[in-house]
């Protein structure tokens, strides 16, 4: 064995021991994946803008519907019919309501997600074997953005919504149950107001 081969042996052994880095998932693949999600149920952990932590169950029915039920709290967040309603469990007042289009969450609830649209994606990176995509509504960038984290094979793991004030809310998903049906009444703002 020559000296050059002996000198390279440790380098080659080290190179073979390093795991291959995950490649960044393409925007087309992420769009295809998000469009394939119709009905999803998952436990979640939420890090609120003030640093407090909440847990609960999220129900998603695309397009346009989501329900966040919080554990140990009567707070409820519903999106349906183009409206978001936030029911404060500590208040007897009615829900705070605003258009779904004013929240970056509308991006993943849209009927046809196309992340290749001009000015929609403002960040697309690979970090710690995850693909991170930051998207905004190109017509309303002032409403904030959503940063989505995907593992490979393509699976949504968490999102961070930055609202129009710069406040960040992180939602970390547990194991997602996909498919099945969720009764439409679970997303009814009117029904929730009658409870």
State the residue range of the domain holding 120: 22-193
Condensed to tens digits (0 to 9), the pLDDT of residues 49-99 reads: 999 999 999 999 999 999 999 998 888 999 999 999 999 877 777 788 999
Q: What is the CATH classification number for the domain harbouring 172?
A: 2.50.20.10
DSSP states of 92-145 as a string? -S--EEEEGGGSTTHHHHSSS--TTSTTTEEEEEEETTEEEEEE--TT-GGG-E
* Poorest-pLDDT segment among 21-30, 132-141, 158-167: 21-30
In a domain? residue 7: no
Residue 6 belongs to a domain: no
User: Which tens digit of pLDDT belongs to each residue from 119-161?
Assistant: 999 999 999 889 999 999 999 999 999 999 999 999 999 999 9
Q: Which structure tokens are listed for 108? A: 């993943």
Highest mean pLDDT among 7-21, 162-176, 178-192: 162-176
Q: Is residue 13 part of a domain?
A: no
Mean pLDDT value across residues 156-185: 93
Q: Per the domain annotation, does 140 fall within a domain?
A: yes
Looking at the domain assignment, is residue 8 inside a domain? Answer: no
Contact 99, 143 (CB under 8 A): no
Check pLDDT > 70 for residue 103. yes
Give the three-state DSSP class for 61: strand
Q: What is the pLDDT of residue 95?
A: 86
Q: How many domains does the chain have?
A: 1
Residue that is written with structure tokens 């050059």 in the block: 4
Q: What is the pLDDT, as a whole number, of residue 174?
A: 95
Burial of residue 72, with CB atoms counted within 10 A of its CB: 0-12 exposed, 13-18 middle, 19 or more buried: exposed
What's the N-to-C CA distance of the chain in angstroms? 81
**DSSP strand pairing (76-80 vs 121-127):** unpaired
pLDDT value, residue 21: 52
How confident is the model at residue 22, as a pLDDT? 60
> For residue 193, is pLDDT > 70?
yes
pLDDT at 4: 39
* Statement: residue 163 has pLDDT above 60: yes
C-alpha separations of 163 from 111, 141, 142, 167 in Å: 21, 10, 9, 6
Quick one: pLDDT at residue 194?
Answer: 72
CA distance 111 to 159: 19
| pLDDT at 186 exceeding the cut of 70 | yes
- Residue 15, in any domain of the structure: no
Closest CA to 155 of 174, 135, 171: 174
pLDDT tops 80 at residue 2: no
């Amino acid at each position: 064995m020559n000296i050059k081969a002996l000198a390279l042996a440790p380098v080659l052994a080290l190179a073979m021991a390093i795991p291959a880095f995950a490649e960044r998932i393409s925007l087309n693949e992420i769009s295809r994946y998000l469009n394939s999600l119709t009905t999803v149920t998952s436990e979640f952990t939420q890090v609120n803008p003030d640093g407090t932590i909440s847990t609960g169950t999220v129900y998603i029915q695309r397009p346009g519907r989501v329900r966040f039920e919080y554990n140990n709290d009567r707070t409820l967040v519903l999106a349906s019919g183009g409206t978001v309603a936030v029911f404060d469990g500590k208040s007897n007042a009615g829900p705070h309501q605003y258009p779904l289009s004013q929240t970056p969450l509308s991006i993943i609830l849209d009927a046809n997600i196309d992340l290749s649209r001009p000015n929609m994606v403002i960040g697309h990176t690979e970090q710690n074997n995850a693909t991170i995509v930051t998207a905004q509504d190109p017509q309303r960038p002032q409403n904030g953005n959503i940063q989505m984290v995907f593992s490979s094979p393509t699976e949504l793991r968490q999102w961070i919504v930055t609202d129009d004030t710069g406040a960040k809310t992180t939602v970390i998903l547990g194991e997602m149950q996909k498919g099945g049906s969720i009764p439409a009444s679970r997303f009814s703002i009117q029904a929730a107001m009658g409870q």
